[in-house]
Amino acid sequence: MVTIKEVAKEANVAISTVSRVLNNSGYTSEKTREKVLQAVKKLDYKGSLLAAAMTKKQTLTLGLIIPDIKNIFYSDLTRAVEDEASKHGFNIFLCNTDNNLQKEAEYINLLIAKGVDGIIFSSPEIEAENIKDAKEKYPDLPIVVLGSKIFNLHVHEVLVDNFDGGYKATSHLIDLGHKDIAFISGGKESYASVERHKGYEYALNENGISINDEYVVFDKFYMESGYKNALKLLQKNRRPTAIFAGSDSIAVGVYRAANELNINIPEQLSVVGFDDSQYAEILSPMLTTIHTPIKEMGQRAIEIIVKLIKEKQLYKESLVFYPTFMERKSTAEPYSTG
Amino acid sequence: MVTIKEVAKEANVAISTVSRVLNNSGYTSEKTREKVLQAVKKLDYKGSLLAAAMTKKQTLTLGLIIPDIKNIFYSDLTRAVEDEASKHGFNIFLCNTDNNLQKEAEYINLLIAKGVDGIIFSSPEIEAENIKDAKEKYPDLPIVVLGSKIFNLHVHEVLVDNFDGGYKATSHLIDLGHKDIAFISGGKESYASVERHKGYEYALNENGISINDEYVVFDKFYMESGYKNALKLLQKNRRPTAIFAGSDSIAVGVYRAANELNINIPEQLSVVGFDDSQYAEILSPMLTTIHTPIKEMGQRAIEIIVKLIKEKQLYKESLVFYPTFMERKSTAEPYSTG
DNA sequence: CTGAAAGCGCTAACAG
DNA sequence: CTGTTAGCGCTTTCAG
């Protein structure tokens, strides 16, 4: 690997001069500039960002902490984040935690030891001990929370209005005439789940529909959870005529359960998802869902963190995106009235 | 950020001593060892892997270059790679290239400038100019190609026997009685496509079934390509009774096309996919496909590269996994005979 | 406008 | 067994 020293020698200048022309810092005469550039080209000098990072205290890398890249929501998100980071010259360290706090803590330590310029957290949990710890130990480390909310903590955040999404999904079902609407979502420790549920209840209340606790399930944001819980719900004496799934993944499980029980979607069961992931259009019938602007959210998260890296910000930035209703083919009027 | 110097001061020893106990290198008396460890704990010293990397010439990071993390195949693969890397203490820089060679080249430069200890390439293309260049410029840089094959190049590789997969898929359809079997896959520049096609032709020939060029389509490994091409194939005068899709994504497109044309799977059209991705079980009916041991492949790729980092290897390692047939619900006897 | 020199935080000989 | 010292490759004052 050719170093700046060799370039300096080749060009007959000091290494500081080489550094200057390469970084466009300070003055350099056109002549020496040329000489240096020639030497650089001749030796095919690339430079070490590692060494540069030592002095500049900037590695041009970011950490992205998510539960699982296999989860479609996070792969979409990660792509958006990586693309935008790349535009700004940053690379991404990908970290899968499976929502394991210990694993997360280890990743955080490692990322910091490697000198990342910032960390983007995208876990669904409200309990954010690790983030709090990190913020305490490294108050100057830029942190952005993407897709969730941490209470009582001065961290920048980019999220979607989950309440609004829950409200829109449920309202749509109510408008179609449904009254027996079930809700299956992730756990109560998930901010998204809780908020979506609030939106669900609000819509129900607003329309004078009484809330049936048996129809509300907090479990996991996985397909299996959708399957298992839908199976139970759909075998009740009075089964729901519609299910609002807290994520498209859960909706996939609901489809499978319905399929197994020979219940047709949407004729006999309406389903609404959340996220508008790739799954939505693969399912048959295509899934009506709540569209989350993942791409924009990922972009904004990077923009904020890049801004943070450049200059300390004294206020907390909080971006709340509005989800939109995406109608496809999985909902219809309730069976009995249809 | 607390440095090794401060720890040394606190413990009243030289920094080299601190370094020694922390790295378990050289001898240290139990007493000073204790002193150092105490100081470390007291100051909550973490150490900078960045600085360590400067002297050790090892960053404990790897680059992973893929086309697109949103593609289910690559997200599964990436998870396997990241997990295994993490076990060995390595972090992963995620790079999405969209198969754009220029983008890929830029990522490679960046990765090298940041001092990655190795790069894992997982692009489907046979043309590997960038890999060749990298190998030429940095002959000592550990490189593993995952999922594809580069000809005439001394790079380690982990891949699946695509020919065998193509053969198995096609044979299954033939065994069911199909003769009009179409093949839709990625482009001819993809090693996987070409090999899967060879397996397809071999099975056909072996059974004395003549090859119909109209039934063979090389396009892209995307859903859209499956949709578009299946639409064409299924509207021919003599439409195929079965389609072997070169990937599960393509199969998703085939399902959609069939659905639009009111062609039932598997009664009127049999479909076999490739990869056994998450899609396979989401599709209805569940997709019969060729299972690729993605997880194992990702693990092996990391094992090889870690070995390579530790010691120079004089032989080329090539791991070929056998795919297995995964029967689900998307195939049946051909319509006419059924 | 350019060069010398200090230093980023750590490791690795090398004396002692 | 421990301390001193010389870097790793680069950036950044500071003189000149």
Q: Return residues 113-142 of A near B (CB < 8 Å).
A: 113-115, 137-138
Measured CA to C1', the nucleotide nearest B19 is C11
Short-list A126, A129, A131, CA closest to A148: A126
pLDDT in tens, chain A (338 residues): 899 999 999 999 999 999 999 999 888 889 999 999 999 999 999 999 999 999 999 999 999 999 999 999 999 999 999 999 999 999 999 999 999 999 999 999 999 999 999 999 998 876 789 999 999 999 999 999 999 888 888 899 999 999 999 999 999 999 999 999 999 999 998 999 999 999 999 999 999 999 999 999 999 999 999 999 999 999 999 999 999 999 999 999 999 999 999 999 999 999 999 999 999 998 989 999 999 999 999 999 999 999 999 988 888 899 999 999 999 999 999 976 44
> CA angle, A51 as apex, A47 and A57 as ends, to 5°?
125
Pick from B50, B92, B278: CB nearest A59? B50
φ, ψ for residue B319, nearest 5 deg: -110, 120
User: pLDDT value at position A336?
Assistant: 63
Let me know if A216 is exposed, middle or buried by CB neighbors in 10 A (0-12, 13-18, 19+).
Answer: middle
Cβ-contact B50, A50 below 8 angstroms: yes
pLDDT at residue number A337? 43
DSSP annotation of B286: P
Length of chain A, in residues: 338
pLDDT in the model for residue A149: 86
pLDDT at B259 over 50: yes
| pLDDT at residue B336 in the model | 63
Contact residues, chain A, for B83 at CB < 8 Å = 96
Q: What six digits make up the tokens of B160?
A: 């699946």
Residue B311, pLDDT score: 86
Per cent of chain B over pLDDT 70 is: 99
Q: Of A54, A61, A69, which is closest to B69 when you measure between CB atoms?
A: A69
Q: How confident is the model at residue B150 (pLDDT cuts 50, 70, 90)?
A: confident
Q: Give, in Å, how far the C1' of C16 lies from the CA of B99.
A: 59
3-state SS assignment for residue B213: helix
The alpha-carbon gap from B205 to the nearest alpha carbon of chain A, in Å, equals 34
A206 CB-near residues (< 8 Å, 6+ apart): none
**And the tokens for B173?**
């359809």
Nearest to A160 by CA among A321, A325, A326: A321
Which chain B residues contact residue A92 at CB under 8 A? 93-94
Residue B275 CA distance to nucleotide C4 C1' (Å): 61
Per-residue pLDDT averaged across B118-125, rounded? 90
Q: Does B96 touch chain A (CB under 8 A)?
A: yes
B224 touches chain A (CB under 8 A): no
- Position B151 scores a pLDDT of 84
The pTM score is 0.93
Query: Which chain B positions have a beta carbon within 8 Å of A60's beta carbon?
Result: 114
Burial class for B310, CB neighbours closer than 10 Å (0-12, 13-18, 19+) = exposed
CA/C1' separation A40–D5 (Å): 32
What is the identity of the amino acid at A225? S
Residue of A nearest to B109 (CA): A46
Closest C-alpha to B282, from A276, A234, A235, A249: A249
- Residue A72 carries which DSSP code? H
pLDDT tens readout for residues A274-298: 999 999 998 989 999 999 999 999 9
Of A1, A115, A223, the CB nearest to B48: A115
The Cα A169–Cα A194 span in angstroms is 15
Single-letter amino acid, residue B248 = D
The answer to whether the Cβ–Cβ distance between A110 and B91 falls below 8 Å is yes
**Cis before residue A334, ω within 30 degrees of 0?**
no
Residue B306: what are its φ and ψ, rounded to 5°? -65, -40
> CA A16, C1' D15: Å apart?
14
pLDDT, tens digit, 9 for 90 and up, residues A206-241: 999 999 999 999 999 999 999 999 999 999 999 999
Angle at B267 (CA atoms; ends B266, B270), nearest 5 degrees: 35
Whether the Cβ atoms of residue A93 and residue B92 lie closer than 8 Å to each other: yes
Q: Place B152 in a pLDDT band, splitting at 50, 70 and 90.
A: confident
**Rounded Cα distance, B256 and B244, in Å:** 15
B58 touches chain A (CB under 8 A): no
Q: Stated in angstroms, how far is A20 CA from D2 C1'?
A: 41
Q: State whether the beta carbon of A55 lies below 7 angstroms from any atom of strand D.
A: yes
Largest CA distance in chain A: 88
A:279-338 residues touching chain B, CB 8 A cutoff: 279, 282-284
Across the range B297-301, mean pLDDT stands at 97
pLDDT tens sequence across B313-331: 888 899 999 999 999 999 9
